[in-house]
Structure 1
Amino acid sequence: MTENEKKSGLNIRIAEKEDVSLILDFIKGIAEFEKLSHMVTATEETLLESMFGERPYAEVFFAEMDGVPAGFTVFFHNFSTFVGKQGFYIEDIYVKPEFRGKGIGKAMFLHCVKLAKERNCGRMEWTVLDWNPAREFYEYFGAGPVEGWHIYRMTEDKFESALEK
């Protein structure tokens, strides 16, 4: 934690099993912000297994302002064959509306940068919806869209038909 974070009452902490309902609340909050609430199928049970089970697939940390959960970040490691080392993928960074403009998003983003550096990651990646004003925030730090690449996604309801082809 930096001196500024201490002065501002900001604390970043790793999520624990007991936080699974809070994690789900934040997921619902970001889904509402992105106008994608209809796509949330996560439950406390699926999150508990996926984040705190025998083989955790993602990690979470919270930003708290004076002890109140104000934001969260979900991330996991991927791998780059070209770089030959693990990468750091940010799935979500979200700050509740009433806490925006207080440096919380910046603190969470820079915490990701710090973790990626400490873990010797070759790169850090994330996606941003084209209408999201956070794009300017990320560009301020030197990030930018990857030219010539498009994100493709296959959802689990398509797995079976793909295997039949």
Structure 2
Amino acid sequence: MQPENATSVSVRSTTIDDIPLIMELVKALAEFEGLSDHVLATEDSLKEGMFGKNKYAEAIIAEIDGKAVGFIVFFHNYSTFVGRPGLYIEDIFVYPEHRGKGVGKALMTYCGKIARERNCGRLEWSVLDWNPARKFYEHMGGEHQKEWLLYRLDDKGIEKLAERK
């Protein structure tokens, strides 16, 4: 069931020509999260990571009337417990003025179809604890994994780890 103010949302995979648009959406997401100063990506690094020799991630764009209104960036992981690949959603973002119009649902559904087609055993993502989108994710069937904590090493941490003796 679509909201009363539903608009026709189209969703598509991206091409190399979408790199400037993906960069724009990454910056908009970072601004929304108050993390603009953390964006180190460039159009060149996105091009290499999504369309280069080794494709590390893929993106999906949602459009209304031919205008981009949101995106998902995802990549494959692998579960030894399940014995199958999974999809991990790195980013999902819908411009605030287009929320509540079915854009997020269209993006998540499209990503779910990709996961099913690729025989993935899991579809996972992380969300900031303050983000009101948590209610949306739960509505879409997502379950908060209370027993798992996310850990991360940045460039400096990776360098220190790699140099350990």
Q: Which interval holds the TM-score relative to the shorter structure?
A: over 0.9
Contiguous gaps of at least 5 residues in structure 2 = 1-5
Instruction: Map residues 1-165 of structure 1 onto 2, 5 A cutoff.
Output: 8-165=7-164
Of the structure 1 ranges 95-104 and 154-163, higher mean CA displacement relative to structure 2 is found in 154-163
What is the identity, as a one-letter code, of the residue corresponding to 2:106?
Answer: A
Whole-angstrom distance in 1 between the partners of 2:68 and 2:116: 25
Whole-angstrom distance in 2 between the partners of 1:47 and 1:66: 26
Whole-angstrom distance in 2 between the partners of 1:89 and 1:32: 22
Query: Per chain length, whose mean CA-contact separation is higher, i.e. which structure has more relative contact order (CA < 8 Å, sep 6+)?
Result: 2
Deviations 1:72-114 (A, max 9, x none): 1101110001000100111111111121111101111111111
Whole-angstrom distance in 2 between the partners of 1:101 and 1:148: 30
Which residue is 1:3 aligned to?
A: none
Whole-angstrom distance in 2 between the partners of 1:19 and 1:156: 27
Which residue is 2:3 aligned to?
A: none
> Any idea what SS the aligned residue of 2:73 has?
strand
* TM-score, length-scaled by structure 1: 0.92
What is the identity, as a one-letter code, of the residue corresponding to 1:55?
Answer: N
Whole-angstrom distance in 2 between the partners of 1:147 and 1:97: 28
Percent identity over the alignment? 52
Contiguous gaps of at least 5 residues in structure 1 = 1-6
Of the structure 1 ranges 137-146 and 84-93, higher mean CA displacement relative to structure 2 is found in 137-146
* TM-score, length-scaled by structure 2: 0.92
> Any idea what SS the aligned residue of 1:63 has?
strand
4+ residue stretches of structure 1 with deviation over 4 A?
none
User: How far off is 1:130 after superposition?
Assistant: 0.3
Of the structure 1 ranges 108-117 and 43-52, higher mean CA displacement relative to structure 2 is found in 108-117
Whole-angstrom distance in 1 between the partners of 2:162 and 2:42: 27
> Any idea what SS the aligned residue of 1:92 has?
strand
Whole-angstrom distance in 1 between the partners of 2:34 and 2:85: 32
User: How far off is 1:159 after superposition?
Assistant: 2.0
> Any idea what SS the aligned residue of 1:154 has?
coil
2:59–2:74 contact (8 Å) kept in structure 1: yes
How many residues were matched structurally? Answer: 159
> Any idea what SS the aligned residue of 1:72 has?
strand
Whole-angstrom distance in 1 between the partners of 2:8 and 2:134: 26
